[in-house]
Amino acid sequence: MQIQTFKEEKGRENINPFFIYDSVKLKYLLSLGRPINALMVFFAAMVGGYIADVPVSIAVWAALSAALISMGAQAINDYVDIEVDKRKRPHKPLPSGKVSPDDAKLAIAFYFLSGVVLGFLLSVYHGIIAVLASLLAIFYSYKLQRWKFLGNIVVSLLTALSIIYGGLLGNITRTVLPAFIVFLVNWGREILKDVEDGDADKGYKTTLYHLIGKDAILIGSYLIAMGVLLVPIPYVLNLLGEGYIVIMGVVSLFTLWFIAKMLSEMRPYHNPIKAAMLVGIIAFAAGV
């Protein structure tokens, strides 16, 4: 059965202006926030809470707040990026017409406001960071995305911040090293992704690939390798247990192999690195 787009459903908009009873539309609005990425952020914040000795009852709400803000950031990125996505990813909810721009704006507001409200319910510190993270995500989408080589740093910083956010009311210094590892690996992955999207982004964004060509693969690989080399330290410092080092050891070997492959072929392998990051989050959880 063919799924109707919002244009085909125009006659029903007056019946259901807030989309909440339309399960098909709701599914696409959820996908706009990239729930898999949000789940990664959720677990990263939970790990940060554990490392910092924050009670689970607090960490879980901080993790949910971080995940909602992540969904808002992803959704607004797609909203601003709709013209680029028409060229390189026309199947996505907005360029394909499965979600209207107006409904996307409602979803973006819901994600950001829910994350911020949850933050303030936890503490003033959570609330302030939630507001700043939301504003930074909006600023990135509307301004820094054009200079993607700078935007990569912001995206990676926000991802790493989720670990610190989860441990905010505990021994926060214990979260800094794991957050730094996540920052380095994600920064490298963002650069590799830009190399893959280089032709589609041309004229819309300025990425590191547009500035230095395939040498961007060298920098992305170097950043990921730096993060991998730091992997054993949280275990040595007793921040995380044996489950972490066993799984992360396998992930690290897999990642280093792909780094060698990238450097020998000068070809970006973004998806395997993303898969390694997903398993890496599982390794953090196993260490907990």
Q: Give the pLDDT of residue 25.
A: 75
Q: Provide mean pLDDT across the span 261-278.
A: 80
Closest by CA position to 227, among listed 184, 273, 270: 184
Instruction: Find the mean pLDDT for residues 154-162.
Output: 90
Superfamily name with CATH number, domain 10-287: UbiA prenyltransferase (1.10.357.140)
| pLDDT over 90 (residue 207) | no
Lowest mean pLDDT among 120-129, 138-147, 184-193: 138-147
pLDDT reported for residue 19 = 45
Distance from the Cα of residue 274 to its chain's centroid: 10
Sign of the alpha-carbon torsion through 230, 236, 239, 243: positive
C-alpha to C-alpha distance for 282 and 66, rounded to whole angstroms: 18
Asked whether the predicted pLDDT for residue 96 surpasses 50, the reply is: yes
3-state secondary structure 6-27: CCCCHHHCCCCCCCCCCHHHHH
Residue tagged 């489950």 (tokens): 243
As a 3-state breakdown, the chain gives helix, strand, coil percent values, each rounded to 5, of 80, 0, 20
Query: pTM for the complete prediction?
Result: 0.81
pLDDT at residue 22, rounded to an integer: 66
Q: Which two tokens stand for residue 144?
A: 């820094």
Q: Is the pLDDT of residue 162 over 90?
A: yes
Mean pLDDT across the chain: 83
What pLDDT, on the 0 to 100 scale, is given for residue 225? 93
Reference 49, options 39, 36, 38, 58; nearest CA is 58
pLDDT of 21 strictly over 70: no
Query: What average pLDDT does range 146-170 have in this prediction?
Result: 89
Position 136 pLDDT exceeds 80: yes
Residue 170 has pLDDT above 50, yes or no: yes
% of the chain residues with pLDDT over 90: 34
Q: Which two tokens stand for residue 232?
A: 């054993």
3-class secondary-structure state, position 171: coil
Q: Please report the pLDDT score of residue 66 as a whole number.
A: 96
In the chain the first and final C-alpha atoms are separated, in Å, by: 44
Cα–Cα distance measured from residue 62 to residue 30, given in angstroms and rounded to the nearest whole number: 20
pLDDT at residue number 202:
73
What is the pLDDT at residue 288? 65
Q: How many CA atoms lie within 13 A of 73 on its CB side?
A: 29
